[in-house]
Amino acid sequence: MEESIVKVKHLSHRYSVQWAIRDINFEITENGIYGLLGSNGAGKSTTMNIMCGVLKQTEGEVFIKGVSMRENPVEAKRYIGFLPQKPPLYNDLTVEEFLAFTANIRRIPTGEVAEAIKVVMGRCGLSHFRKRLVRNLSGGYQQRLGIAQAIIHNPAFVVLDEPTNGLDPNQIVEIRHLIKEIAEERTVILSTHILSEVQATCDYIRMIEEGQVVFAGTVEEFDNYIVPNTIFVSLASAPPVDELKMLSGVEDAVSMGGMDYRVNFSDSREAITQIVEASVTRNWQLLEIRMEKSSMDSVFAELSAKSKNR
């Protein structure tokens, strides 16, 4: 049995009388990029802060590489690199000075600090800014520095809270690429409420809504969560839409203009077979036929609605 990198058991936390998260359970046993997805206020940051030992939970347990965060927080934190939503930077230090400071906090042996700084600056594309003051870095390079401080001690588990928040499109692409490089050697979990971020970056998803986990699986499983019930059809010699509606297995059909149709079916196999056969016998000249997947937005909306109706 594989050792858990992260194990969260019956995790709950409340602020005053309001529960922010309630009975969250999940386990991560292999490297990759895990998206912690959810609406604003769903409980993502609370969950991440507890996992990183920044916040003490009301109930439940978090284990990092088998070490209890509640009972042995210092030992558990050795395995963690954390980038909060706002990078914890010191503007009056140079990049090199700041990384030396974080290396010392992480108790990297004195003789290894210089090499650790060199490696992490190279990895994060900061080497040519080593003498620049942090305040004079662009937003994208400040975010890179935030990631650098999170991985300088070579942790097994890296937690990134909204890592592309406030960046321009070019900076977002660069940070995504950096995150993927980091995940080749370790487990990365990042929080976001942006679906395109998950689709572009993550391998797996844990979705939290109303303080509870409503989905856990791969990005592909998330994308296919809602069973498709429509077929896209393109016909060079387009027939009247009523002819499609009369085919066995077809419940309804709508013209999308020109040669394209969207077909609702009661039986997908029967509908596809009938459309293909009719195209041959009636010379509709079939160009394309495919099952339509649900968009990530519709899956997100469906899961969010289910959590609110519990």
**Token reading at 65:** 């590489």
Q: Residue 246 corresponds to which tokens in the numbers above?
A: 């009369």
The pLDDT assigned to 166 comes to 81
pLDDT value, residue 2: 58
- Closest C-alpha to 96, from 72, 110, 115: 115
Give all domains of the chain, ordered by start, each with its CATH number.
6-223 (3.40.50.300), 230-291 (3.30.70)
Give the chain's residues under pLDDT 50. Answer: 1
According to the model, what pLDDT value does residue 20 have? 93
What pLDDT was estimated at residue 79?
95
Q: How far is residue 14's CA from residue 198's CA, in Å, rounded to a whole number?
A: 27
pLDDT of residue 199: 82
Alpha carbon distance 37, 45 (integer Å)? 10
Query: How does pLDDT run across 174-183, given as a tens digit for each residue?
Result: 999 999 999 9
Q: What is the pLDDT of residue 29?
A: 87
pTM of the model: 0.74
